[in-house]
Amino acid sequence: MKAAAAGLAAPCAFAQTAKIASTELGDHIYLLTGAGENVLAHTGAEGVVLVDGGLAENADALAQAVAALPGSGKIQTLFNTHWHPQQTGSNQKLGMAGATIIAHENTCLWLQQNITWPWDGQKFKKLPKIAQPNKTFYDKGTLDSGIGSHIQYGYIPDAAHTDGDIYVYFPQQNILAVGGVAYGQGWPVVDWWTGGWIGGIVGGLQRIQSIANRETKIVPAFGPVLSFADIAAQAEMYGAIYDRLNQMLNKGRGPSEAVEARPAKEFEAKMGNSDAFIRRAFESQWAYLSPDA
Ligand SMILES: [Zn+2]
């Protein structure tokens, strides 16, 4: 998906480490890239609010990059948009420094257990207590931005990427972080092991359109900033793919047959090979729709 329509500013002069680059997206808000997946930093009189924290191996570099932002201060609050390591890698460092770590209750539950993805055997270790979210919620909340407005956050209950997906909205700048509910580039990971599914991708993209407006800059966990029109186009594409997969499910087909049928072939020129995505997306229907999954 293209970022141009969202008005992504040119990389600014504040990029200061070899790894992490920063881009000013709006007043007091910077997009930091290179830490694993996208990180948003909001600088205010009350300190810095981060949306996601990159990978643990990049936590020090990320903290340095944040400290060098104009108007920066102590990182007071960290949001985890979901439990994946690309979002939670600064939890330990910032938890030890006394930051408030906000996440959906389901994200906190996943971070309290070891996880193994059945499709590739990848293992994720539970986080130590100090690194776990220390302020969880089920529905929504607000946070004083320190610059005269309130940051709004809330649950995206469609289970697009995981069952703990959240958004964080900065109304003053009209910037909406949506974590893994939308991807800026390439096919998404359908993490059905922790609740995500293809129907949820469609539902989540529709829900983003009810939270955002036509001018909102939408920041995905991965890839460039998206416009409202990008999200609408994605919702349409995933809606078409979901319909096809659902029909195959109803005919008793399996994941390999779904991949062979190439239900996303007209999107591949733009999106890349869809085989792994289609397989996971098909499996996600089983996981979501079978009562004992
Ligand atoms: Zn993720």
57-68: per-residue pLDDT in tens? 999 999 999 999
**Ligand 1 center–CA 262 separation, angstroms:** 24
Is it the case that residue 285 has pLDDT exceeding 90? yes
Spacing, Cα 251 to ligand 1 middle (Å): 31
- For residue 45, the CA-to-ligand 1 centroid distance in Å is 30
Helix runs in 158-291, H state only: 198-211, 228-250, 255-261, 268-271, 275-289
**Band (9; pLDDT cuts 50, 70, 90):** very low
**Residue 226: count of CB within 10 angstroms of its CB:** 29
The residue to which tokens 């580039």 are assigned:
185
φ and ψ at 175, to 5 degrees?
Answer: -120, 130
Q: Residue 292: which pLDDT band, with cuts at 50, 70 and 90?
A: low
Distance CA 101, CA 112 (A): 14
In this prediction, residue 44 carries a pLDDT of 86
pLDDT band at 17 (very low <50, low <70, confident <90, very high): low
Contact 221, 87 (CB under 8 A): yes
Q: How far is the CA of 283 from the centre of ligand 1 (A)?
A: 17
Asked whether the predicted pLDDT for residue 15 surpasses 70, the reply is no
For residue 192, report the distance from its CA to the centre of ligand 1, in Å. Answer: 11
Judged against a pLDDT cut of 90, whether residue 4 lies above it is answered with: no
pLDDT tens across 230-269, in order? 999 999 999 999 999 999 999 999 999 999 999 999 999 9
Ligand 1 centroid–CA 247 distance in Å is 27
Cα 88 to ligand 1 centroid, rounded to whole Å: 10
Region 279-293: mean pLDDT is: 84
Residue closest to 22 by CA, chosen among 42, 6, 5 = 42
> 3-class SS at 78?
strand
Q: Give the distance (Å) from ligand 1 centre to CA of residue 74.
A: 26
Report how far ligand 1's centroid is from the alpha carbon of 157 (Å): 15
Taking the C-alpha atoms of residue 8 and residue 5, their distance in angstroms, rounded to an integer, is 8
Full DSSP string of 7-38: TPPPP-TT--SSS-EEEEEETTEEEEESSSS-
* 13 pLDDT tier (thresholds 50, 70, 90): very low
Q: In which element (H, E) is residue 94 found?
A: helix 91-96
For residue 201, the CA-to-ligand 1 centroid distance in Å is 13
pTM: 0.92
161 CA to centre of own chain: 8
CB 48 within 8 A of CB 41: yes
Q: What is the pLDDT of residues 121-132, one digit of tens each?
A: 999 999 999 999
- Per-residue pLDDT of 178-216, as tens digits, reads 999 999 999 999 999 999 999 999 999 999 999 999 999
Interaxial angle between packed helices 198-211 and 275-289, expressed in degrees from 0 to 180 and rounded to the nearest 10: 90
d(CA 96, CA 90): 10
Å from CA of 160 to ligand 1 middle: 10
Cα 72 to chain center, whole Å? 24
Q: What is the pLDDT of residue 45?
A: 81
CA of 158 to the centre of ligand 1 (A): 15
- The phi and psi torsions of 267 (rounded to 5 degrees) equal -100, -5
Per DSSP, the chain holds a count of helices (H) and strands (E) of 9, 14
Distance 104 CA to ligand 1 centre (A): 14
The alpha carbon of 217 and the centre of ligand 1 are apart by a number of angstroms equal to 20
State the distance from the centre of ligand 1 to the C-alpha of 287, rounded, in angstroms: 18
Rg over alpha carbons for the chain, rounded to the nearest Å, is 19
- CA of 148 from ligand 1 middle (Å) equals 31
Cα end-to-end span (Å), the chain: 33
SS3 per-residue string spanning 57-75: HHHHHHHHHHHCCCCCCCE
The 10s digit of each residue's pLDDT in 93-132 is: 999 999 999 999 999 999 999 999 999 999 999 999 999 9
Rounded to the nearest whole angstrom, what is the distance from the C-alpha of residue 153 to the centroid of ligand 1?
A: 18
Q: Say if CB 191 and CB 117 are below 8 A apart.
A: yes
